[in-house]
Amino acid sequence: MCGIVGYVGPDSNQRALDVIVEGLSRLEYRGYDSAGVALVADGEIAWRKKAGKLANLRSDIEAHPMPPSTTGIGHTRWATHGGPTDQNAHPHLGGEDDKVALIHNGIVENFHVLKTELLAEGVTFRSETDTEVAAQLLARAYGETGDLTEAMRVVCNRLEGAFTLLAVHADLPGTVVAARRNSPLVIGLGDGENFLGSDVAAFIGHTKSAMEVDQDQIVTITKDSVDVVGFDGTPAEGKRFEVTWDAAQAEKGGHSSFMVKEILEQPAAINDTLLGRTNEAGELVLDEMRIDPARLAAIDEIVIVACGTAFYSGLTAKYAIEHWTRIPCAVELAHEFRYCDPVVDERTLVVSISQSGETMDTLMAVKHARELGALTISICNTHGATIPRESDAALYTHAGPEIAVASTKAFTAQIAACYVLGLYLAQLRGGSQAEAAQQVMRELHEVPAKVDTLLGSMDRVREIARFMADTRSVLFLGRHVGYPIALEGALKLKEIAYIHAEGFAAGELKHGPIALIEPGQPVFIVVPSPSTPHNLHDKVVSNIQEIRARGARTLVIAEEGDESVVPFADEVIRVPATSPLLAPLLTIVPLQVFAAELAAAKGLDVDQPRNLAKSVTVE
Ligand code: AGP
């Protein structure tokens, strides 16, 4: 949940503070309860830390300048143990002489036992965090070993839980030591300087050359070396990769928020996710997955595991996957999956969906599925993240960096990736759906242009949102693929506009939720295309009439040319026509725009909503 930066640069260029604060500004989306930095300077640790957003830390540093330095660490926090106060902010210092500074992402689960032990030995603590225990243990281990890497190894072998740790020692200018277990860490390789970060955004302004760090490994960086060892002391090699996006993509680029920018980037995100998935004959090719096609063809069940918006993308894709493959597809919340004694085996394909690739609940679900013998595929937007690396194969979405906490372009890219996977499975299984797969792929390629057109017609949606800034409750209805879109529309509004919002399957209305309808209650209805089988469209139109008769204010999302909704709609929001299974890539757009505009109209921070963090790396 937290953002972590480490840096070592050349003696000629004592700019550690600037590099670290810049990195933190790019990682702030990961957590923004407090922020802090520690520098090694003149045989001491210089540190500043402040509750609140990074701006508070910047002001503090301006008021109390820090010394020039080549070496340092920085942290932006999402509080777990101990509230978001100055004291609980990272870094935490260790040792009687405060010569060790340490930052942490994750949770040290056995911190209580360790703290009791340290307290008994006379150590005093200045915070309520689990992290300070690791700082004190590290100072002690350094005292015994005289080697920061070895000391980190000793400490890691005592910690339980999930952690990325970064540490510096006052006597070691030019060295940062890091460790990871079940929490993200990546190395940035510069020319005469090296970096550490929770993700590549930490150093993208300086280098695109990066290296993955495996589970249970310790990394020691200097300005011109990177050494990796396992927690057992075995030397290891990191895997290099090039970052495929640049710093400009992680900037707002003149937009009012990252969320607004990312909504507008959806045509490119979907398009790039579809690119290169077919050969000249129009057949789907997913060579990058490196899974034996025979094994894939033999699966008899699909289980999608994910959380939040990624879960809704899975729920959306389920309809298409089952239709195209005729394989049963269950969609499970990742945090429930492990605990429901799931029935999966080697013929089950478990597909995890995660933008960050670091969501702890999803990671644990994948690990559990592998233990049970399932084949695992990760749909992920972040190269080198933990979940794809812990899976049998990865299918990357190419949405580019998603910075706003509220997921938008990752959502549509995830749906597109699920469609590609579903069509590929259909092709492997042969039969009539295999032939249809090529036609669907052609249609999918037309969707980005339609999303683009749709984005150009959102003025009225923005107006409605501004008009509704004081609204206290909004309901969302949908059916078939419109149902998960209703759920996702409600989630967007909850998380960034702090408005009570609920999504329902329209058919469920009469089984209870219709009691919520009173005069003036705004209700968005995602209407299926009139071409949806089983007269579903007409059934939803009836649902609109039922709630309108009870006074609801109906905001209807309907396909171009669908005139049957007009008499029952207070507002009609048009989306371009497409085949019913692909429609979610369009119908979600007005709901994203609505939430972003309404949150902005309320004067809220659209990108960094309260209590949330982009990447949920604790269970
Ligand atoms: C979406 O707007 C949320 N911020 C959240 O639900 C998110 O989708 C969820 O936490 C999963 O994240 P992931 O895709 O990185 O795994």
Question: What is the per-residue pLDDT across 467-496, written as a single tens digit (0 to 9) for each?
Answer: 999 999 999 999 999 999 999 999 999 999
Question: What atom in ligand 1 is closest to the CA of residue 410?
Answer: 14
Q: Can you give the pLDDT at residue 289?
A: 81
Q: Can you give the pLDDT at residue 83?
A: 83
From 66-70, 119-123, 288-292, 586-590, the region with the lowest mean pLDDT: 288-292
Q: How confident is the model at residue 290 (pLDDT cuts 50, 70, 90)?
A: confident
Q: How confident is the model at residue 263 (pLDDT cuts 50, 70, 90)?
A: very high
Mean pLDDT value of segment 157-164: 92
Q: Can you give the pLDDT at residue 619?
A: 78
Mean pLDDT value of segment 447-455: 97
Give me the count of residues in the chain: 619
What is the C-alpha R_g of the chain? 25
Q: Which residues have CB under 8 Å from 501's CB, separation 6+? A: 473, 474, 475, 476, 489, 490, 491, 493, 494
Given a cut of 80, is residue 213 above it in pLDDT?
Answer: yes
| Contact call for residues 378 and 366 (beta carbons, < 8 A) | yes
Strand, helix or coil for residue 299: coil
Neighbour count for residue 239 (Cβ, 10 Å): 11
Mean pLDDT value of segment 408-427: 97
> Which residue stretches of 193-292 are H helix?
258-264, 266-274
Given a cut of 80, is residue 431 above it in pLDDT?
Answer: no
Given a cut of 80, is residue 617 above it in pLDDT?
Answer: no
Model-level pTM? Answer: 0.86
DSSP 153: H
How far is ligand 1, taken at its centre, from the CA of residue 371, in Å?
A: 25
Q: Can you give the pLDDT at residue 58?
A: 96
Q: Can you give the pLDDT at residue 176?
A: 98
State how far the Cα of 368 lies from the Cα of 444, in Å rounded to an integer: 33
Q: Can you give the pLDDT at residue 291?
A: 86
Q: Can you give the pLDDT at residue 435?
A: 81
From 180-184, 307-311, 457-461, the region with the lowest mean pLDDT: 180-184
Q: Can you give the pLDDT at residue 479?
A: 96
Q: Can you give the pLDDT at residue 384?
A: 78
With a Cβ cut-off of 6 Å, ligand 1 is lined by 307-310, 354-356, 359, 362, 405-407, 495, 615-616
Q: Can you give the pLDDT at residue 183?
A: 86
Q: Residues 388, 162, 228, CA angle at the centre, nearest 5°?
A: 70
Q: Can you give the pLDDT at residue 182?
A: 84
Report which protein residue has its CA nearest ligand 1's atom 8. Answer: 309
Question: What is the per-residue pLDDT across 71-114, written as a single tens digit (0 to 9) for each?
Answer: 999 999 887 788 889 999 999 999 989 999 999 998 888 989 99
How far is ligand 1, taken at its centre, from the CA of residue 407, in Å?
A: 6
Q: To the nearest 5 percent, what fractions of the chain are helix, strand and coil?
A: 40, 25, 35
Residues serving a catalytic function are 2, 614
- Please report, rounded to a whole number, the percentage of residues in the chain having pLDDT higher than 90: 83
Q: How confident is the model at residue 316 (pLDDT cuts 50, 70, 90)?
A: very high
How far is ligand 1, taken at its centre, from the CA of residue 199, in Å?
A: 16
Q: Can you give the pLDDT at residue 475?
A: 97
Q: Can you give the pLDDT at residue 63?
A: 96
Neighbour count for residue 470 (Cβ, 10 Å): 9
Question: What is the average pLDDT score of the chain?
Answer: 94
Q: Can you give the pLDDT at residue 447?
A: 97
More confident residue, 183 or 380: 380
Question: What atom in ligand 1 is closest to the CA of residue 355?
Answer: 14
Taking the CA of residue 435 as centre, how many other CA atoms within 13 Å lie in the half-sphere pointing to its CB? 2
From 22-36, 161-175, 257-271, 571-585, the region with the lowest mean pLDDT: 22-36
- Please report, rounded to a whole number, the percentage of residues in the chain having pLDDT higher than 70: 100
Neighbour count for residue 219 (Cβ, 10 Å): 27
Question: What atom in ligand 1 is closest to the CA of residue 356?
Answer: 15
> H or E element: which one contains 15?
none
Q: How confident is the model at residue 13 (pLDDT cuts 50, 70, 90)?
A: confident
How far is ligand 1, taken at its centre, from the CA of residue 215, in Å?
A: 22
Q: How confident is the model at residue 616 (pLDDT cuts 50, 70, 90)?
A: confident
Q: How confident is the model at residue 533 (pLDDT cuts 50, 70, 90)?
A: confident
Mean pLDDT value of segment 553-573: 96
Best mutation site among 78, 355, 487, 612 for ligand 1 pocket (most ligand atoms within 8 Å of CB): 355
State how far the Cα of 27 lies from the Cα of 535, in Å rounded to an integer: 48
Question: What atom in ligand 1 is closest to the CA of residue 308?
Answer: 6
Is the CA virtual torsion 360, 364, 369, 373 positive or negative? positive
Mean pLDDT value of segment 334-354: 95
Q: Can you give the pLDDT at residue 32?
A: 84
Q: Which residues have CB under 8 Å from 515's CB, separation 6+? A: none
